[in-house]
Amino acid sequence: MFTTLLIANRGEIACRVIRTAKRLGIRTVAVFSDADAQALHVEMADEAVHIGPAPVGESYLKGERIIAAAKRTGAEAIHPGYGFLSENPDFVAAVEAAGLIFVGPSASAIRAMGLKDAAKKLMHAAGVPVVPGYHGDEQNPDFLAGEAGKIGYPVLIKARAGGGGKGMRRVDDPAAFAAALEGARREGAASFGDPHCLIEKYVEKPRHIEIQVFGDCHGNAVHLFERDCSLQRRHQKVIEEAPAPGMTPEMRAAMGEAAVTAAKAIGYAGAGTIEFIVDASDGLRPDRFWFMEMNTRLQVEHPVTEAITGLDLVELQLRVAAGEALPFTQEDLAIHGHAFEARIYAEDAARGFLPATGTLTHLSFPKGEGVRIDTGVRAGDRITPHYDPMIAKLIVHGPDRPSALRLLRRALAGTHIAGSVTNVAFLGRLAAHEGFAAGDVDTGLIGRDQEALTANAPAPPEIVATAALAQLGHLEEPVPVKAGDDPWARLRGFRIWGTARQTARFEADEGGRRDVAVADRGGGRFAVDAGEEPLNLAVVAVAGDAVRLSFDGRIFGVTLAWEVEAVTVFANGAAHRFARWSASAHAEEGAGGDRIAAPMPGLVKLVLAKAGDAVEKGEALIVLEAMKMEHTLKSPRDGIVAEILVSPGDQVEDGALLLALQPESAAGTAGRGE
């Protein structure tokens, strides 16, 4: 076994690898960009080396800098994590040419599976079933449209070098094929440097089930059972579980055999995942699954496999890379219990899962038996536009699926994050979804019920009242009165001439100001105008950020998280953020319907209109790329474009004005020469 390991990654996965390496007594070296100088993975490692500016193309994708850092620090091996250079065969070859060990498969194995079209041809030749489609080299748009017609709509366009949902488009109508193909090509080129696409039949009730495989350098290969990753939005996984609900022994045996066959066909060594698309329209049947792709690295969702097998997959990676043989055979492996993983992101589910940024002012995760948190951030860290907006992975494990699902729901309800929009509430609703609870899952579940799953429920009146009390300073932890202190300090709120009355002012969800009147009746009792009728609340206890109040004959608890101009109230699994109202922020209120602003920091890829154009509501006007995904910004109404304020290639900040329409009064007179 080597003594020093460099981790060529950042965030959650870098921290994950460091933990196992330290347990094995291996010294660790981290690498970091300008944006990550104070990051958790840098703090955890024994040593860290700066490799460049924040953009990944100038830091984490600079293989020569990473290899130089390994040589400089005496590292004998490099673990790539996932993403970045983890599936780059040229990087693997360069690592080995430098006399270092790459913790992963060979460059030839990665090349064999790196392009989806070539991988499917290879798997078909090996006897592994593949999904019907066109996987050839011809890329003429008219030709590909013809192939799509032969396959039959709906079809799925996929960038051949893609992954993580990038470069993928579902097309239901032949008229939409050309635009979808162009979008997939742009995203493939931006994310992977390869615009080449393939076309596949879209399975109507698809499930995404993958098999974890492991091989060594001695010719051994096994599978570590399946993971169901069907809960996806925009082709990106949201909640994964193992084992797959409804899986039969016959189906598991058939998929496991196909996966091991695939691994052996390329002489695979290390951790890998064979991803299959499954037609679940008639249950899980051994003749209804097809090879999609192989991920020649550790998967984001590997912890659910660790939970049900009791294995540490990172430790296995390190041992196999050091030349050891797998310490078990297929017959030694068994499934124990059930596990879920929920991916917690800084993203706005109600706005189409737009990635978000922000400083994590409050970060608290649940603890207890059966709960595991993998994260790369701490309270006070900033989610930047430079990297994937994942905050953490929440993993739970129970003796069976119902108990594990109950634990998942409780753990999500106990996850408190403030300072950035997150998907925690969305995950909580998804975990409570009736179909998901029954195991009736497919990749379209979230899309079908997206409106209900992502809707922002209004805060109940008692939560609004709690926020008002917090803003006005009534929920601060009391300071014990000591001898010599002013005895009148105990009587805050007392007025000899009557009840003290104050007003808390918040930004209303629909815009404008919301006033909440609070009457202090003394002794921790308050009357609050937070709904149709005044509420009578009493403060029962305050301990730091944890507050207990009584209302309407019941006692309930909340947790508070403070920002400079806002307070977030966590209660009943929901987070309600109340921003203090600012008059200056509303100086230009009412102009939003004439403007398109950047919903996040990003790169302007396309401008689809010019000044003077007449546009319709919902018409695509600007394509913005953020975190390697494209986001189409559409016209808020019918109108005429007054001015374009950006050009393709511009880097813009969150909230930057991109395009303005003529005011409706001006647009109405423009055609009459007035």
* Site of tokens 């511009």: 650
DSSP state of 647: -
CA–CA distances in Å: residue 245 to residues 167, 225, 231, 592, 623: 29, 13, 12, 46, 39
Spatial distance between the Cα atoms of 630 and 613, rounded to a whole number of angstroms:
23
Report the candidate in 562, 227, 572, 299 with the shortest Cα–Cα distance to residue 424: 572
Spatial distance between the Cα atoms of 266 and 516, rounded to a whole number of angstroms:
66
CB 462 within 8 A of CB 491: no
Helical ranges in 129-193 per DSSP H: 141-151, 177-192
CB 393 within 8 A of CB 342: yes
Spatial distance between the Cα atoms of 388 and 345, rounded to a whole number of angstroms:
9
| The two three-digit tokens of residue 46, written as one number | 């024994």
CB 112 within 8 A of CB 122: yes
User: What DSSP letter does each residue of 613-632 carry, written as one string?
Assistant: -EE-TT-EEEEEEETTEEEE
Q: Which residues of 552-587 are buried (b: 16+ CB within 10 A; e: fewer)?
A: eeeebebbbbebeebbbbbbebbbbbbeebeeeeee
DSSP state of 580: B
Q: Is 220 exposed, middle or buried (0-12, 13-18, 19+ CB in 10 A)?
A: middle
CB 211 within 8 A of CB 226: yes
Strand partners, 397: 339
Is 297 one of the annotated active-site residues of the chain?
yes
Gyration radius of the chain's alpha carbons? 28
Q: Is the dihedral angle over the CA atoms 301, 306, 312, 316 positive or is it negative?
A: negative
Residues 6+ apart with CB under 8 A from 510: none
Does residue 648 have a cis bond before it (omega within 30 degrees)? no
| The two three-digit tokens of residue 521, written as one number | 């009746």
At 243, the amino acid letter reads P
DSSP state of 229: E
User: What DSSP letter does each residue of 398-450 carry, written as one string?
Assistant: ESSHHHHHHHHHHHHHT-EEESS--SHHHHHHHHT-HHHHTT---TTHHHHTH
| The two three-digit tokens of residue 13, written as one number | 């996965």
Spatial distance between the Cα atoms of 325 and 320, rounded to a whole number of angstroms:
6
Q: Is 504 exposed, middle or buried (0-12, 13-18, 19+ CB in 10 A)?
A: buried
| The two three-digit tokens of residue 500, written as one number | 């003290």
Say which of 297, 343, 372, 429 is annotated catalytic. Answer: 297
Spatial distance between the Cα atoms of 615 and 638, rounded to a whole number of angstroms:
6
CB 240 within 8 A of CB 227: yes
User: What DSSP letter does each residue of 233-249 carry, written as one string?
Assistant: ETTEEEEEEES-TT--H
Q: Does an H or E element contain 665, and which?
A: helix 664-670
Q: Does an H or E element contain 17, and which?
A: helix 11-23
Catalytic residues, by residue number, are: 297
